[in-house]
Chains A and B, each alone.
Chain A
Amino acid sequence: MNSLKLSRELALRIGLAARALPDTDARRLLNVLSTCVTEPMTDSKIAAIELDAFKNANDGEFAAVDDSVLQQALNILKNAAPEKVLPAVQAYRDGDLPGSVRIACASDDGIHVNGHFGACSWFMIYQVSSDEARLIDIRTAEIPEGLVVDDKNVFRAEQIQDCKVLYVASVGGPAAAKIVRFGIHPMKLAAIESLADVIAQLQTVIAGTPPPWLAKAMGIEAGERFRFEREASG
């Protein structure tokens, strides 16, 4: 390890890439990388590392890490243009998931809910029931060229108006009011969380006793809501 000679830029990129990986510091990543390539470590050898090799390196140290996260780290290592790796959209028809709710998540990387409502790259649209969640659409909110839009935030809200809940990392006050006007419930997360975590939390809520406003948004009848109420108070 001590004999490793790294260029300044490569060392910096290893540090940055380590930050993109869960529970990884530069030393750990360097350790894994040193099993992938022969010394001395150079830009061209790093650039030749493939995703599979990286995943299986050092007896599969990063095997449990999501492919898209690994790809992101590799992109940083290779100084490649951030190739946006978006998850695949799954087929969905109305009625496929009974007792589900459609949600939108503002995201800039397709992995975390880290987008600002007015500026995020994508709205990830999920249909979520207590035991299943499908990514049914990925929508950009970029205004098509030539189209004149009075209010950018209204336009963005229109793109997701079939959703009942919107998760964002941040949203302005007036924009939130416009979102509410579309019957969408905006939820600002206290900290940036992964899409998977947010969905898992929502599933726990749906499986338990959903708050009345959510039950109403999901179309659960008032009579059934009453049952929830008695269970909760009783």
Chain B
Amino acid sequence: MALYIVEADCISCGDCEPVCPTNSITEGPIVFKIDKKTCTECEGDFDVPQCVKVCPIDNCILPLPA
């Protein structure tokens, strides 16, 4: 139960970092990354994942395959 950022599409705009309620998003060596251990897909905090909502690129933040 977590999201991940598609490295080839992320433009490192950083819009997702401040909106994450669990502070799971940090800037990695290449692009931003989501800590899968703490990402809750915003469940309990918001109806929709906030990073997906603010991300300007389509299909850049996707659910990790279970």
Q: Which residues of A contact B (CB under 8 A)?
A: 180, 185, 211-213, 215-216, 222, 225, 229, 232-233
Contact = CB atoms under 8 A, between A and B. Distances in A.
Main secondary structure of the interface of B (DSSP, over half): loop
Given A180-B56, A233-B29, A211 B9 contact: no
B29 A213 contact: no
14 contacts: A180-B56, A180-B57, A185-B11, A211-B11, A211-B12, A211-B30, A212-B7, A213-B10, A213-B57, A216-B9, A222-B8, A229-B30, A233-B29, A233-B30
B31 interface: yes
Interface residues of B, number: 11
Interface of B: 7-12, 29-31, 56-57
A221 to B, nearest CB: 11
Contacts of B56: 180
Contacts of A225: 8
Given A216-B8, A222-B8, A211 B29 contact: no
A212 B10 contact: yes
Given A185-B11, A222-B8, A212 B57 contact: no
